[in-house]
């Protein structure tokens, strides 16, 4: 079974998680990924809207695009309230109960940021009536961001450069517990680090590929159009994303999942079988699973956009999706091994 350079993987995961990248706010992380691709000795190309592609084994025939996205769910300033707090709206699937009490960074248009936290409008239990405290959480009604600044009104906030449309990123809170990894945004920065580790292995170990492989780092998966454009020569697309664990799921934090279907439609049956065959051949610990009712990957958007491609998806079992997520190095090892088995001779 292919073995990953785990020190490099963790180094890249830590660096990627440290860069805020709420969907739409992609430039800092795009600049980083381009520098890392260049350091690995590959050329890259930017997509016009945001995203990076690097080619391995150019001209190898039957091109495969592997995609891992770098955008995170987060918040955006909807309105500056009269008392100096911020009314916010979600970017991607960030439910208010998963955002409450988190530390955040609010970015101005000039790229500066100010810290704050997500709080209930009536945040102090001791002075809040029971009926108010029991109300369902709602960004439009009872959630706000409180800035760590001496601001008393909307004018004070706007003087900092904060206004409607400013992006808000949540603190990832990365921590290791044995071989478990806990953090926000393991979806999908674990996959991006796996892809980088694969690119490094191809270079360092002289691994021969069975076709042209385009590594795509997308920036818009969380809002549904990450791969709505891909190069015309692509024949197959493999998304690497989290495999959500749950009571009725096969996915396991110690295994890689080969996706059979998500909330949009089934994945390509023959390509799925190729991945299963590759897992068996390589001794990779895998399961198959279906993810509904609220899941899709970047591969889906290419199909919807009308590309004549096969699409499939794999990923490590991951708990607590879109919250404080957790995965295990075993699942990461198996995901890496299956990716490498599938693209190598």
Residues known to be catalytic: 221
In eight-state DSSP terms, residue 266 is B
Backbone angles phi, psi at 159, to 5 degrees: -65, -25
DSSP bridge pairs for 317: 243
Residue 93 and residue 265 in contact, taking contact as beta carbons nearer than 8 Å: no
Question: SS3 string of 117-158?
Answer: EEEECCCCHHHCCHHHHCCCCCCCCCEEEEECCCCCCHHHHH
Contact status, residue 25 vs residue 169, Cβ threshold 8 Å: yes
Cα separation, 188 vs 297, in Å, equals 10
Instruction: List Cα–Cα distances, 270 to 28, 83, 138, 191, in angstroms.
Output: 38, 58, 43, 23
Q: Which of 76, 77, 103 is nearest to 92 (CA)?
A: 76
Return d(Cα 31, Cα 33) in angstroms, integer: 6
Cβ contact 89:75 at 8 Å? yes
Pairing of strands 167-170, 143-147: unpaired
């Amino acid at each position: 079974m292919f073995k990953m350079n785990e020190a490099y993987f963790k180094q890249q995961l830590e660096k990627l998680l440290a860069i805020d990248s709420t969907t739409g706010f992609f430039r800092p992380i795009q600049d980083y990924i381009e520098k890392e691709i260049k350091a690995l000795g590959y050329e890259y190309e930017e997509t016009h809207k945001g995203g990076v592609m690097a080619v391995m084994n150019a001209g190898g025939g039957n091109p495969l695009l592997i995609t891992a996205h770098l955008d995170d769910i987060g918040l955006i300033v909807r309105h500056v309230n009269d008392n100096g707090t911020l009314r916010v709206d979600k970017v991607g699937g960030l439910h208010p109960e998963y955002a409450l009490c988190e530390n955040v960074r609010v970015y101005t248009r000039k790229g500066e940021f100010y810290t704050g936290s997500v709080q209930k409008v009536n945040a102090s239990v001791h002075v809040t009536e029971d009926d108010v405290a029991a109300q369902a959480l709602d960004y439009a009604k009872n959630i706000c961001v409180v800035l760590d600044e001496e601001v008393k009104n909307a004018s004070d906030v706007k003087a900092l450069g904060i206004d409607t449309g400013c992006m808000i990123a949540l603190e990832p809170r990365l921590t290791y517990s044995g071989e478990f990894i806990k953090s926000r945004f393991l979806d999908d920065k674990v996959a991006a680090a796996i892809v980088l580790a694969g690119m490094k292995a191809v270079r360092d170990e002289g691994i021969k590929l069975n076709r042209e492989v385009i590594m795509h780092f997308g920036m818009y998966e969380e809002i549904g159009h990450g791969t709505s454009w891909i190069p015309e020569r692509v024949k197959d697309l493999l998304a690497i994303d989290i495999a959500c664990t749950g009571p009725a799921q096969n996915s396991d934090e110690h295994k890689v999942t080969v996706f059979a279907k998500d909330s949009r439609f089934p994945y390509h049956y023959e390509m799925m079988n190729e991945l299963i065959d590759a897992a068996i051949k390589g001794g990779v610990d895998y399961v198959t699973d279906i993810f509904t009712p609220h899941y899709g990957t970047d591969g889906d958007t290419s199909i919807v956009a009308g590309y004549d491609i096969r699409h499939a998806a794999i990923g490590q079992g991951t708990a607590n999706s879109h919250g404080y997520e957790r995965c295990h190095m075993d699942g990461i090892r198996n995901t890496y091994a299956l990716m490498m088995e599938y693209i190598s001779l």
